[in-house]
Amino acid sequence: MATRDHVLRVLRGSEASRIRFTIPAAGGFTINSVTFHRVAQAIERNHIQVKVVTNFPAGIGALYHPDTNTVDTPPLLGRVSEGLLLHECTHAAFDLGNVGIAAVADEAAAYVVDALYFRMTGLQRPRWNAQLHALAGNVADGLLRQYQRGSPRVPAVDTAQWLALGFFIMSHPVYIAGPAGHGESYLHNG
């Protein structure tokens, strides 16, 4: 399967369609199936490009470049790379929507998305237990408990866990020197 087709399949897949939550940033922004469908449509319209990259800097598994509207993804060979793809597509969604959100909240939302994907696909925690993923996993576990109660509403993330995740993102070596570490925002220019 061509990478672009695989990306579209993941974005429109059952797991991405079940992801739904609100975050306290950006006025209570909601991430749900519409979020991922918009990114898929942007890819189909060639507004967002997908590029396979095999040599990322240390600590980076995939990237979204808002200046060129390009998602750099590793070869999509399994659930880990698919989760990392959804992480970057969350950034793309904020960019497409010109969402006014701090980079730390942008990252936190993307980590919660990949943690939800990992959990929903049954990926065992030792395969995604790096510190930021593990903290996002705690947020995802709370959301999954709310999903399991059968409520049709969109649950909100636990505020205390959200803030803890944001703190660790801001102080993480990958983010500390950039916008997330300095309380700034990423470029969101649609």
Residue 185 lies in a domain: no
Task: Note whether residue 37 is domain-resident.
Answer: yes
Asked if the structure places residue 144 within a domain, the reply is yes
Q: Domain range for residue 107?
A: 3-171
Dihedral sign for Cα atoms in the order 28, 185, 87, 68: positive
Of 87, 168, 78, 80, whose CA–CA distance to 127 is shortest? 80
pLDDT, tens digit, for every residue of 70-95?
Answer: 999 999 999 999 999 999 999 999 99
Convert 52-81 to b/e letters by CB count within 10 Å (16 or more is b).
eeeeeeeeebbbbbbeebbbbbbebeebbb
Sheet of 70-73, strands arranged across? 49-52, 70-73, 63-65
Mean pLDDT of 149-153: 82
- Model confidence, pTM: 0.96
187, part of any domain? no
Q: Are 84 and 73 in contact (CB under 8 A)?
A: yes
Mark out the alpha helices in the chain (DSSP H runs): 3-11, 14-18, 33-44, 79-96, 103-120, 131-148, 159-171
Residue 25's pLDDT is 81
Residue 63 lies inside a defined structural domain of this protein: yes
Q: Say whether pLDDT at 130 is over 90.
A: no
Res. 154: pLDDT tops 90: yes
Q: Is residue 120 part of a domain?
A: yes
Domain count, the chain: 1
Q: Say whether pLDDT at 103 is over 80.
A: yes
The predicted pLDDT at position 158 comes to 94
The pLDDT of residue 28: 84
Which burial class, exposed, middle or buried, applies to 157 when counting CB atoms under 10 A from its CB (0-12, 13-18, 19+)? buried
Query: 180 lies in a domain?
Result: no
pLDDT tens, position by position, 113-129: 999 999 999 999 988 88
**Inside any domain, residue 89:** yes
